[in-house]
């Protein structure tokens, strides 16, 4: 009877753990995703790749580490991405401060885990590697330098905007389509704001359209998502495509009136 009771308790705990994990919402970011997934056992080749990366950070050599980076290395907008190895060597200490270098160099194997096809993550997703070749695909850590740089860039950005747009928490996207200049900002209440101009206009001019109360939701796997804005009988959607076909656009704008599609335009992100 005692053995049966213990077995039932263990089974209940396992079932609770499964249901608890299953209830969590899939995240749009690497860091949030890392908190929701189980940790499969690393293969021997993956463990060897991790040991190789740890050894590289023990040397702290930017040139050798650059050989393990998948470029462009995206930084949090509006900080521009690092385009290639030469730029990486110049900006190395902006991304990898001594805190992060030491954290990786002194890491233990149990701090690394495989997360399916998404790759191998370090800790809660502050760094990600590809499954097969040990290439670093993403660095979500932000040094003190980058935190200040980002705030400085946001302050400068606000100075160049029309007065109606200067209040926001964080810039999200700046987009050019065939006919429109569009920007999306996140506000202090975590909703999104849409503003657009004719393609020939500047952000310092009054926007043709401003839409508030936008909401973001995942659109499939891999980080693809859509931000939706509604006003009267119109619905504007910004589709951000991170994983798609080789010729997929970075962004697509759609506009619906009374549920009927009246406009579709693909766009490119402006990262500077």
Q: For the chain, what are the domain ranges?
A: 25-144, 161-269
243 pLDDT band, cuts 50/70/90, is confident
**Cα dihedral 54, 85, 241, 175 sign:** positive
Q: Which of 53, 79, 71 is nearest to 142 (CA)?
A: 79
Neighbouring-strand partners of residue 194:
184, 211
Q: Is 85 exposed, middle or buried (0-12, 13-18, 19+ CB in 10 A)?
A: middle
Question: Can you give the pLDDT at residue 241?
Answer: 94
244 pLDDT band, cuts 50/70/90, is confident
- Alpha carbon separation from 154 to 9, 157, 171 (Å, rounded): 53, 5, 7
User: With 80 as the cut, is the pLDDT of residue 37 above it?
Assistant: no
Q: Which residues contact 188 (CB under 8 A, 6 or more apart)?
A: 168, 169
Query: φ and ψ at 62, to 5 degrees?
Result: -60, -35
Section 147-171 average pLDDT: 97
Q: Which residues contact 192 (CB under 8 A, 6 or more apart)?
A: 172, 184, 185, 186, 213, 214, 215, 216, 227, 229
| pTM for the model | 0.79
């Amino acid at each position: 009877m005692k053995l049966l009771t213990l077995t039932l308790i263990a089974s209940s705990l396992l079932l609770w753990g499964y249901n608890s994990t299953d209830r969590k919402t899939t995240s749009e970011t690497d860091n949030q995703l890392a908190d929701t997934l189980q940790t499969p056992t690393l293969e021997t080749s993956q463990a060897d790749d991790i040991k190789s990366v740890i050894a590289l950070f023990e040397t702290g050599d930017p040139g050798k580490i650059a050989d393990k980076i998948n470029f462009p290395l995206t930084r949090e907008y509006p900080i521009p991405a690092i385009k290639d190895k030469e730029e990486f060597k110049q900006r190395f200490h902006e991304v990898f401060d001594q805190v992060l270098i030491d954290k990786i160099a002194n890491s233990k194997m149990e701090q690394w885990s495989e997360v399916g096809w998404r790759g191998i993550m370090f800790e809660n997703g502050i760094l990600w590697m590809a499954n097969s070749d040990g290439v670093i695909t993403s660095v979500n850590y932000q040094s003190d330098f980058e935190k200040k740089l980002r705030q400085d860039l946001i302050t400068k950005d606000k100075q160049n905007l029309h007065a109606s747009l200067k209040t926001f928490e964080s810039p999200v996207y700046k987009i050019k389509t065939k006919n429109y200049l569009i920007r999306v900002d996140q506000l202090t209440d975590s909703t999104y704001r849409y503003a657009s101009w004719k393609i020939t206009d500047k952000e310092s001019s009054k926007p043709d359209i401003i839409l508030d109360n936008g909401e973001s939701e995942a659109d499939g796997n891999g980080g693809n998502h859509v931000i939706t804005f509604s006003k009267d009988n119109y619905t504007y959607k910004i589709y951000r495509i991170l994983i798609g076909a080789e010729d997929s656009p970075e962004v697509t704008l759609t506009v619906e009136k009374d549920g009927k599609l009246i406009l579709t335009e693909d766009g490119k992100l402006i990262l500077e």
